[in-house]
Structure 1
Amino acid sequence: MTASPLSGAVAHASPLGGEAELGRAEFDAIARIMLAESRVHLTAAKMTLVHSRLSRRLREHGLATFRDYVKLVETNPVERGEMVTALTTNHTHFFREVHHFDHLRETALPMLKDRARRGPVRIWSAACSSGEEIYTVAMCLLGTDRSHAGWLRGADVKLLATDISPPMVKATARGFYPAATAEAIPEPYRRAWMRPVQGGFEMVEEARSLVTARLLNLFADWPMRQQYDVIFCRNVMIYFEDDAKRELEMRLVDQLAPGGISISAIPNA
């Protein structure tokens, strides 16, 4: 890989011959499209990442230059979606920022059990990535012993997981995780709510049945009409500028049921 100290362009060998170079003009165009489509803010420090992730898209379309790719993205909404998916960072893990889940168990859970006796309970994981967050929530509700989950049987409790990336939504719906990923789950939870399968672990049906995974752009129209008792929106805030963060936080507040809890923090790890 090479970088020009004069232009700031990033390039590497292209299978089509020569080098596919990502110049500043093309990067700026891609950044503008990302901002318009998803409000994700790409700085110049992300040029190498953008080049790396989009080079495969050039190869798939048989394009020799990023200039041609920008033209394609500007006119092809399907490829714009593929670009957004390619440039969306999906880094998360089970029980990430564990104090948030301590709060869920100790403060929110008694409230949720009370509400479940009187009506529906709804929990939303916005920007759910591959589902580790929403299944951590599910396990906190279910408890470490199957006998503790009795309060959910017969109750109208549903968990919504949304993400802008179709592969992440599909992964969440499947509920499969490699063994190395599942290591972050405390053993009592893993033993109760996951079963070993080839290559890793799978959430059991009782946990998966609580979760609905859907595709959603957080800055597009939201089809949900009900309000939510708990909203998690943590893993995505770091990628937005301040104006976008404020806009999203206000929309989340409007979607929150009276007395509900919103956890919309930037995670440390």
Structure 2
Amino acid sequence: MLDRYARYKTLAFDTPAERVLRIRINRPERLNAFTPETHTELTQVWRDVDADPGVRAVIIGGAGKAFSVGGEFDFVEAIIDDFEMRAHAWREARELVYNIVNCSKPIVSAMQGAVAGGGLSVGLLADISIAAKSARLVDAHTRLGVCAGDHAVILWPLLCGLARSKYYLLLCEQLTGETAAEIGLVSLCVDDDKLEEAALGIAVRLAKGAPLAIQTTKYALNNWLRMAGPSFDASTALQFFTFAGPEPKEGLASHREKRPPAF
């Protein structure tokens, strides 16, 4: 069952229960920050999952203390400075979202610690998203100096409404797992020590359910996201357009120097 995933280098795979595939972003020493390779692998893996006849449910998590802090600074810098990298990352950012939306298998996320950037996209796009109480979720695009692209425009207004979406996305306000559950941004919030148990329990229930019924229900529900496709496409294009401007240079410098940005 795991042979088809042998080519992945920054993701770890196991099968904790029958017909359940668990994927972990596996760079714990860097809080599971994305390199270009990680970004590519998290874009492509959902196609392999979709085509795997042995999988009925998926868990996506992060190894160690964090789910994922998003892109490595060097990766972000390459997107800012290099047009080819920017164009490549834009295509992958679109595909990552659509590949999760279109993956027929139900996906459960288990989010702990820091959850930001591309990691936040993956965690929130899961069909059932579970956050630990102490998880810290933030969409920090405007803090970096770029448009809130990735998953934000396609997902947040549907989950928690436009008013709250604007508040959290424009101001880059951080949410705990509890707050995210209270506003409807995640499906569930559980005690930190119950996160893995909760994710596995739900994945097992999904794997034991009627597969065609569950998959077609997911497909039909995700038409709400597909209808937001034009807005999503615009936001992602604007995200990578703004990467070419002066603001991300200051945003990245302020992150590296651990100071407020001066835009």
Q: TM-score, normalised by structure 2?
A: 0.30
- Give the number of the structure with larger relative contact order, counting CA–CA contacts within 8 Å between residues 6 or more apart: 2
Q: TM-score, normalised by structure 1?
A: 0.29
Q: Compare the two structures and name the one with the higher helix fraction.
A: 2
The higher radius of gyration belongs to 1
